[in-house]
Structure 1
Amino acid sequence: MKKFQTRMTAWIAALAVAWTLAGGAAAADLTEVIPIGRTAGIKMESQGLMVESIDPVTTAVGEVTPAKQAGFQEGDILLRVDGQEIDTAEALQKKISLSAGKTMEFTVQRDGKEVKLSGTAVQDKSGVYRMGLTVRDSVAGIGTITYVDPATGQYGSLGHGICDGDSGVLVPLKDGSLMESSVSGVVKGVSGTPGCLQGDFNLQEDMGSVEENTLTGIFGVLTDDSYYAGKEPVPIATADEIQTGTATILSNVSGEEVREYTCEIEKIYGEGGEYDRSMTIRVTDKDLIAQTGGIVQGMSGSPILQNGKLVGAVTHVLVSDPTRGYAVQIEKMLEEMDKIQ
């Protein structure tokens, strides 16, 4: 493995522009894929700027909130200022700083529709014009690749979407890529506090694309086959083949090693389940519990196998009990991948 350059801490979303994946069999036609269970670094640039918070600005005469007065809401996607596209937080602050107190027109995306807002920046105590907006233009972290179609390199990962942590809105994807990673440490989960994986990443070379961010995971193409070369595919379980009872999780919680750990599928929600919460699972493997406490951030996407078939992927941990969490049925991930063929 190449030397890793940067360390990051895992995130898990509790966190779309449709692009075209490489050609191949439709996901709905797939009968087998290779389960992965290996972590990867994920970096994404958003399409527009996501409004994370609306904050007061401290001026010479007290606190004011120009963004709130203009009608901004957390979760808005800021697309344009005075008709000019803005794609970085730095570009936004520069535009606001140069406004000199003149009224600006903001175009935001809200609930899938474009909304026009008008607002005027105010000077803070240092004389800099501000709107009182905290925005995000990119995200980065660690997650687990669930599966890959060896014929095309198309993969699914996470089992849930990457969302804004406060508003829960899906981050609209402009561009994204995967980086090779190695797990360098674990913050163990305890009741009331989710744990997380810590990873080292090779920022010098991408190993795949992120081409879609959806409610059931992120999808793209692995351009480097090192994660799955020589591995055998397994059958995909249909919804009626999944049973409560013993199963296994493939996960990477140390270095680059992927191990199989025991778990129990406690409940299956079927069609009534949410996008990323179609099963309740409980970790029973003593080694995994000793090392991580159970499910931790960064394990999202870890494939779940039962009776020799891929049945789903880990998505969330229960904060009150890190040995328990949720999983998505594999068919739901494949259905989403099929939409972006």
Structure 2
Amino acid sequence: MKLMKKKSHIMKLTRVIFGFLLFLLMYVFVFEISGSIPGEYNIRQGEEYIIDTQFPMSIAYKGVKDEKSTIIEIDKLNKSLLSLANINDQIKLTSLEKGSIELKYHILGFIPYKTLKVNVVPKIFLQPGGHSIGVRLNTEGVLIVGVAEITDIEGKKHNLAEVGGIRIGDSLLEIDGKPINNKYHIIELLQEGKGKTISLTLLRDGKRFNTEITPVKSGEDESYKLGLWVRDKTAGVGTLTFFHEETKKFGALGHAITDIETGSILSVKDGDIIRSKVVSIQQGKKGSPGEIRGLFYDVDLPIGKLQHNTAHGIYGEVEKEFLEKVDDGPLEMAFQHEIKEGPATILTTLDDNKIEEYSIEIVKVNSQAKASIKSMVIKVTDKRLLEVTGGIVQGMSGSPIIQEDKIVGAVTHVLVNDPTKGYGIFIQWMVEESGIFDKYQ
């Protein structure tokens, strides 16, 4: 009897463990699938798109066809053997008019999981870049790149950053409510205060905070100091990705401008993009990324105003004079679901200071639900480019990627251990960051 009860207990425990493991496996599987499911699709007006769903995911669309027939038509292309699981469903979306609808992803056909927004948008045409540009950026406030102890007139040491909770990478925006113009402005305000306790407004990870500090009178030169090393501007060379004639908006680099010492994304107060001339190229090698070195010229005639520095590129507006010199026609922007593994090209500028087209291969396309600078893996195949640069080098960031006469993305980074390969960002993410989509809402 006891033996039977013991066996029954073991069987129950086994079922519980098996059920838990099955649930855990299902959860991991769903999480893996859903991580690559976009939360939003953009489809051009008058075009079709097919969505494949994979067990245990399915899309609920009943009722949408009738209610939203003016925006989009939805048809199921194949009938699943298991209606509950909807294995390998294919849903065809036919766009009709500009607008948006929402569909629902379900687990096992009945558990609501995720909302899918489908936007019907007009075709967007962009002027491809490839121009070598210089970037001048003035930060919002000043960036703290180092901290130091201060020895006062009595020989005592003070670490004001530690006292005030200030870290390297923070941006100092205001002192007693007065916006900081540059590093010299800080010195001026500190001397005017004559050692009185001051309020500092700082920015960290996109959030503002305040702290109070009493400046120390330095024993070195008897001036009031905070013990902070700061930087208020930066400059560099990159590549223009695109500009949009109707809105005058541009995008470049495909990644953020960061401080070389702290790695922090620099917040923009203002800045310019100006013409740059390639003066030399350091070829990339395994373990040692190469570099394009440029020289700014016509510095008093910027080709655009810099407005935003984000994780996915820099953005602003191009000048009218620059637009007037455009010769080639625009290309259509591709959405991520249109991009394929296979041949493509990039536009970039090398030592002859002429925009040239070079062959590459898109090795891998990563389905992304949100913006990332690693949307695709690319490989340089053009012998001309390999001979000059060794592959992808610093300064080529932002070079537009073209496939089937559409702009599909931009070069962002090189793989250090293989300079022939690198990453690209979907052009869709850059256009969203630029604000161009707002025109079509």
Alignment partner for residue 254 of structure 1, among 348, 351, 375?
351
Equivalent residue for 1:16? none
Distance 1:36 1:127, change over 3 A: same
Aligned mates of 2:438, 2:229 — CA distance in 1: 32
What does residue range 152-301 of structure 1 map to in structure 2 within 5 Å? 152-201=247-296, 202-223=298-319, 224-225=321-322, 229-271=326-368, 275-301=372-398
TM-score, normalization by structure 1: 0.83
1:50 aligns with 2:50: no
Please give the per-residue CA displacement for 1:77-114, whole angstroms capped at 9, x wherever unaligned.
21111222212011113333455444322111223332
Q: Which amino acid aligns with 1:51?
A: I
8 Å Cα contact 2:380/2:392 also seen in 1: yes
Distance 1:100 1:232, change over 3 A: same
1:314 aligns with 2:411: yes
Relative to structure 2, which stretch is displaced further, 28-37 or 247-256?
Answer: 28-37
Equivalent residue for 1:39? 132
Relative to structure 2, which stretch is displaced further, 234-243 or 161-170?
Answer: 161-170
Alignment partner for residue 90 of structure 1, among 154, 170, 184?
184
SS at structure 2 position matched to 1:49: strand
Q: Which amino acid aligns with 2:173?
A: L
Equivalent residue for 1:119? 213
Distance 1:193 1:228, change over 3 A: farther
Q: How big is the shift at 1:127?
A: 3.7
SS at structure 2 position matched to 1:254: coil
Q: How big is the shift at 1:66?
A: 2.0
Unpaired runs of at least 5, structure 2? 1-120
Higher RCO (C-alpha 8 Å, min separation 6): 1
SS at structure 2 position matched to 1:299: coil
Q: Which amino acid aligns with 2:388?
A: Q
8 Å Cα contact 1:75/1:167 also seen in 2: yes
Give the structure with higher Rg (CA): 2
Please give the per-residue CA displacement for 1:117-154, whole angstroms capped at 9, x wherever unaligned.
12233315344433221222122111111112233432
Q: Identical aligned pairs, as a percentage?
A: 37
8 Å Cα contact 1:153/1:225 also seen in 2: no
Aligned mates of 2:267, 2:413 — CA distance in 1: 21
Equivalent residue for 2:227? 132
Aligned mates of 1:301, 1:193 — CA distance in 2: 20
Aligned mates of 1:85, 1:238 — CA distance in 2: 41
Please give the per-residue CA displacement for 1:6-51, whole angstroms capped at 9, x wherever unaligned.
xxxxxxxxxxxxxxxxxxxxxx644322211011111121221122
8 Å Cα contact 1:44/1:177 also seen in 2: yes
Aligned mates of 1:228, 1:314 — CA distance in 2: 25
Equivalent residue for 2:74? none
8 Å Cα contact 2:371/2:429 also seen in 1: no
Relative to structure 2, which stretch is displaced further, 120-129 or 137-146?
Answer: 120-129
Distance 1:66 1:38, change over 3 A: same
SS at structure 2 position matched to 1:271: coil
TM-score, normalization by structure 2: 0.65
Distance 1:182 1:227, change over 3 A: farther
8 Å Cα contact 1:273/1:279 also seen in 2: no
Aligned mates of 2:191, 2:277 — CA distance in 1: 41
Aligned mates of 1:294, 1:59 — CA distance in 2: 53
8 Å Cα contact 1:281/1:324 also seen in 2: yes
Equivalent residue for 1:141? 236
Aligned mates of 1:57, 1:279 — CA distance in 2: 48
Larger helix share, 1 or 2: 2
Aligned mates of 1:134, 1:313 — CA distance in 2: 35
Q: Which amino acid aligns with 1:279?
A: M
SS at structure 1 position matched to 2:286: coil
Distance 1:325 1:105, change over 3 A: same
Q: How big is the shift at 1:186?
A: 1.4
Equivalent residue for 1:23? none
Aligned mates of 1:188, 1:41 — CA distance in 2: 20
